Amino acid sequence: MSPIFVAIDTANLDRALAIAEAVRDHAGGLKLGLEFFSAHGPEGVRRLGGLGLPIFLDLKLYDIPNTVAQAVTALAPLRPAILTVHAAGGHEMMMAAKRAALEGTKVVAVTMLTSLDAADLSDLGIERSPADHVARLAWLARDAGVDGIVCSGAEVAEAKAAWPRGFFVVPGIRPAGADVGDQKRVAKPRRAIDDGASVLVIGRPITAAADPAAVIAEIAGSLRKEVIE
């Protein structure tokens, strides 16, 4: 299966369906986040899920353990392949989320958003490097029993070495020449895979392209080509 999950972050359902149709031959799944879910809710997820691609429900749940567990239970009928919680919610919250999830749903913990860097951590009163911060939260996530973490390409190699059986979701993926946009810690697709990424989340480089099908086909082809070489 392709490791590429396409981030469809739009409130326009017709556009979301059109993008999903365009990328379905080369995508491993679709990532639906807060913008899409806020606009269309569970029914929107069902509509896109009807195309047959696995759904990554990126809601970054973050609340007291009981509330998060109840939210995971409420989302269970959608049968997401991947569901995110915030690692900063703590050990008990992550444990509660994993216990509430159905078999077949990977619960992964968001460590540090790829739009943040060391200066942002300092603003938050966290006097650690991004690498150290991610490593600490990755240890906490592993101890809590979730399936893996979300981290940038800069941290995935170290996370993989410390957690060989972990599931690693890497956003902020930018092919050569792509606009970085509001991301600060980005990685190229092949490098992230080589360093241990299980899933690559790619949004605007594909979804904002004039021909999303051509762009994802090129990215997928480059991954296969480089593996062969």
Q: How do residues 154-206 score in pLDDT, each as one tens digit?
A: 889 999 999 999 999 999 887 755 555 555 556 788 889 999 999 999 998 99
| pLDDT at 213 exceeding the cut of 70 | yes
β-pair partners for 168: 149
Average pLDDT over residues 90-114: 95
Residue pair 159/147 in contact (Cβ under 8 Å)? The answer is no
* 31-82 pLDDT tens trace: 999 999 999 999 999 999 999 999 999 999 999 999 999 999 999 999 999 9
Q: For all residues of the chain together, what is the average pLDDT?
A: 90
Confidence label for 227 from pLDDT (cuts 50, 70 and 90): very low
Residues involved in catalysis: 60
Report domain extents, the chain. Answer: 4-228
pTM exceeds cut of 0.75:
yes
**Range 4-228 has CATH code 3.20.20.70:** yes
229 falls in which pLDDT band (50, 70, 90)? very low
Stretch 83-112: mean pLDDT: 96
How confident is the model at residue 75, as a pLDDT? 98
3-state helix, strand, coil in the chain (%, to 5): 50, 15, 35
User: How many CA atoms does the CB half-sphere of 132 hold within 13 Å?
Assistant: 7
